Chains A and B, each alone.
Chain A
Amino acid sequence: MSELIQRHMAPVRAMVYPMVLNHADADDLVQDIFIRVNRGIHRFRKKAQFSTWLYRIAMNTTRSFLRRKYRAPEQAELEKHPAASETSPCPGDNLVHAELDRDIQQALDALPEKLRAAVVLCILQEMEPAEAAQIQQCTRATMYWRIHEARKILKNHLGHHLTP
């Protein structure tokens, strides 16, 4: 299990952070996800890909967290737009990219959860829509539609950062 955590922790965290947009929450979720993986590893069916199973647990755990968070709006509001110093672990990057990073976070935050998940899986993680659909338990057509919708909304929010 220890090796498994070592091998998969970075990609899992890279998947969770853009969903919750808060480093402390992402860290807590990563621990929670691997606890669940450890509890459920005996249920893993070897005919499925391990990474698909793991990422499904990761996205479901994140989804549950987000739904709890948005049901407690006072808390969600406090943590909605984390300070620039928190958004990037590299201080130099903060100076150059502070405004852009803030805009991207706000744009991602404005996306409905399922559309954000499509962006994370298909654009940031560069997964094939078919695999992303398996993780999100929807059809491939739905996944294509979600990516299309998400891109439309993001372009609307981030248009001034995009070159024509």
Chain B
Amino acid sequence: MNNNLDSLLKNWSRRSRYREDQLSDLLNRTRLAVAEDRERPQAQRTAHPHAWRYILQGAVLASILLIGVYLLIPTRSVSPLDATGIAEHEKNVFREVDRLFDHNLRWAALVNNELKMGIDEEREGPGAEPEFVVRMIIVSREKDQEQWKMLWKADVLARTEEFINVPLDSDAQRLGLWLYRVNGNQYALDAHLNMQTPFVVDFTAMNVVKVGEPRQMMEFEDLSAEYRIYHVIQTLDECSG
């Protein structure tokens, strides 16, 4: 049945292709367009004319966020699930960053209060608005303690079906995420975390999650403490209450 469908599509594709004379005409027009573009002044030809403005804006914004967000993040929590609620003001940070860059961000992340961004250099004009914030946290507690302590936290601005690769302290260390809708309110989240500091973590996991419902991804322990990794996804346009 697949072959049948594939043949149908391939035959249609062959029928809709240009003839040699049409291709030749297009070839001439394309060569001319490229030559004309080459003649234009450099300033008009830059693929990303606002790149410097973006970088400057990003640097200023990052500085403001480093100070502002630091004050908002709790370092201790009675239950680790308390830390998985993404507050409206935290989403606002992403909304503002995304607006500032005309939706040209491939990804944006707040990793332990540090703003990281990747600009889509190939995109011209506004892209699709991001849909989700994915939060991943690592909490720990001493074996004789009740209270959990937040060790690491990352909020990542995400769109469905787009792979996001957030570099951490070095190229080899990264947080990779991709998200796609399974059905209704359920999404599959594929996560890969490779981190050397503050401790060594290297894992890949896939979970089907509901929007707004935190999920424990894994737990591990050493001689003195236990650790848990949680994640949650929330829509960007939804109030978390």
- Residues of A at under 8 Å CB distance from B? 1-2, 5-6, 9-10, 13-14, 17-18, 27, 30-31, 34-36, 38-40, 56-57, 60-61, 63-64, 67-68, 87-90, 93, 97, 100-101, 104, 114, 119, 123-124, 137-139, 141-142, 145-146, 151, 154-155, 158, 161-164
Contacts and interface: CB of A to CB of B under 8 A. Distances in A.
Contacts of A137: 162-163
Contact of A158 (B5, B26, B33, B38): B5
Contact of B190 (A10, A30, A139): A139
A162 B162 contact: no
Contacts of B34: 1, 5, 31, 34-35, 38
Contacts of A17: 16-17
B8 interface: yes
Given A5-B31, A35-B33, A64-B124, A40 B47 contact: yes
A51 to B, nearest CB: 16
B122 to A, nearest CB: 4
Contacts of B47: 36, 39-40
A161 B15 contact: no
Q: Quick one: which of B34, B126, B190 has the most chain A CB within 10 A?
A: B34
Contact of A9 (B26, B122, B127): B26
Given A13-B18, A89-B18, A31 B30 contact: yes
Given A38-B34, A60-B122, A155-B1, A142 B180 contact: yes
B63 to A, nearest CB: 29
Contact of A101 (B5, B16, B180): B16
A91 B4 CA distance: 25
A142 B178 contact: yes
B79 to A, nearest CB: 33
Contact of B8 (A38, A114, A139, A161): A161
Contacts of B190: 139, 141
Contacts of B8: 100, 104, 158, 161-162
B19 A90 contact: yes
B37 A38 contact: yes
B22 A2 contact: no
B15 A90 contact: yes
B120 to A, nearest CB: 8
B23 A119 contact: no
A138 B5 CA distance: 24
A60 B123 contact: yes
Contacts of B1: 155, 162, 164
B199 interface: no
Nearest to A21: B16
Contact of B12 (A35, A40, A104): A104
29 contacts: A2-B31, A5-B34, A9-B26, A9-B27, A10-B23, A13-B26, A17-B16, A18-B16, A27-B26, A30-B26, A31-B33, A34-B34, A35-B34, A35-B37, A36-B122, A56-B122, A63-B123, A68-B125, A101-B12, A119-B9, A124-B9, A137-B163, A138-B161, A138-B162, A138-B163, A142-B161, A154-B5, A158-B8, A164-B1
